[in-house]
Amino acid sequence: MASPASKESCWIGFDLGGTKMLSEVYDSEFEPLARRRRKTKGFEGAKAGIERIVETIQQSLEEANVDAKALGGIGIGCPGSIDLDKGTILEAANLGWKGVKLRDSLESVFGCPVVVINDVDAGVYGEYRFGAAKNARCVVGVFPGTGIGGGCVYEGKIFRGKQFSCLELGHMQVMAGGRLCGCGRYGCLETEASRLAIAAEAAKAAYRGEAPHLMKIAGTNLAEIRSGQIAEAVREGDKAIEQIVRRAAAYLGAAVGELTNLMLPDVVVLGGGLVEAMPELITKAVEEAAFNRMMPSFTKSVKIVAAKLGDDAAIRGAAAWVARQVAE
């Protein structure tokens, strides 16, 4: 790793998604100075992708009027399988990348420490440091989206395996003999409670004439049935869509309840676009199902809350995490 930072260093948080990348510059107190957003352009090669990452970071530094020499470190939140010690992306399906030495590539350009972590871990750490779970002893994050991501911060550190990120909640089996999951197994939580699973059921309801408002605004095209459209359909009285959302939230809650029996977090944070669109409905439904699954005495020890930081959670968390790593 490159040389350590001074107390007055600036930090970069970077969120590398399948459709967009976002770079933000923070001062030593993690107050934002400037940000830059660009498209990833889908399944481009790793070399071109790294070049775009470098350009995006450089542009955010220029907008913040910060010299790269003042950087204390760069934290990257990335989906997929990551060798956390080496900062290598082993496989990121939504980017089409395999065996990409992202940490080494960026350290050679910017000459500062770079840490690559799972994007959900970054988001949970962001909520722990700055958001809905600030200063909790143990926080578990559950983020339903296209899949379902999970992460944990325990006594200030991201909970991880020896080499990889962990808490793959989306691949807990919740229905024996259920639907085929992208992981190759059947009945995973993702197949019942992800936004994609909800959208698929919503499309069927619209096709059957049970969700007239959703049919009007999105039809039966899965690409058009996003979190905002699902929430709007619920608000406008599509009872079938509300039932689908509540059923999915009950599966999430069951998983949260069982996880609480194992780890007893003081805070469970629910995040992602679907939760942002319907925070009260989903949080209450998850809480009810979770409390029915956990030890009765545990219900008074855990809070289940909606995330506060939205898209800022992962990027701010990544910046704060690299700063912690540099300080250790």
Q: What is the pLDDT of residues 106-135, one digit of tens each?
A: 999 999 999 999 999 999 999 999 999 998
Residue pair 167/159 in contact (Cβ under 8 Å)? The answer is yes
Q: What is the pLDDT of residues 80-96, one digit of tens each?
A: 889 999 999 998 877 88
Reading the block at residue 41, the tokens are 């352009």
Reading the block at residue 127, the tokens are 């909520």
Structure confidence at residue 105 (pLDDT)? 96
Q: Residue 243 pLDDT more than 70?
A: yes
Structure confidence at residue 182 (pLDDT)? 85
Q: Residue 52 pLDDT more than 60?
A: yes
The pLDDT-based confidence of 42 (bands split at 50, 70, 90) is: low
Structure confidence at residue 4 (pLDDT)? 53
Reading the block at residue 315, the tokens are 């990027």
Give the mean model confidence (pLDDT) for residues 306-323: 95
Angstrom distance (rounded) from CA 116 to CA 89:
8
Triad 34, 94, 128: Cα angle to 5°: 50
Q: Residue 3 pLDDT more than 60?
A: no
Task: Quote the CATH superfamily of domain 10-118+312-327.
Answer: ATPase, nucleotide binding domain (3.30.420.40)
**Paired residues of 16 in beta bridges:** 21
On average, the pLDDT of the chain sits at 92
Structure confidence at residue 103 (pLDDT)? 96
Q: Identify which of 89, 117, 83 has the alpha carbon closest to the alpha carbon of residue 105.
A: 89
| pTM for the whole structure | 0.93
Q: Which CATH number describes the domain made up of 132-306?
A: 3.30.420.40
Structure confidence at residue 244 (pLDDT)? 98
Q: Residue 5 pLDDT more than 70?
A: no
Q: What is the pLDDT of residues 245-286, one digit of tens each?
A: 999 999 999 999 999 999 999 999 999 999 999 999 999 999
Q: Residue 323 pLDDT more than 90?
A: yes
Give the mean model confidence (pLDDT) for residues 161-167: 89
Q: What is the pLDDT of residues 179-235, one digit of tens each?
A: 999 888 999 999 999 999 999 999 999 999 999 999 999 999 999 999 999 999 999
Amino acid, single-letter form, for residue 259: L
Q: Residue 2 pLDDT more than 70?
A: no
State the sign of the Cα–Cα–Cα–Cα dihedral 48, 53, 56, 57: negative
Q: Where do the CATH 3.30.420.40 domains begin and end in the chain?
A: 10-118+312-327, 132-306
What is the chain's percent helix, strand, coil content, to nearest 5?
45, 25, 30
Q: Identify which of 60, 50, 71 has the alpha carbon closest to the alpha carbon of residue 6.
A: 71
Share of the chain above pLDDT 90, in %: 81
Own/partner contacts of 107-110, CB < 8 Å, gap of 24 or more, are 107/1, 107/2, 109/54, 110/57, 110/68, 110/71, 110/74
Structure confidence at residue 253 (pLDDT)? 97
The pLDDT-based confidence of 7 (bands split at 50, 70, 90) is: low
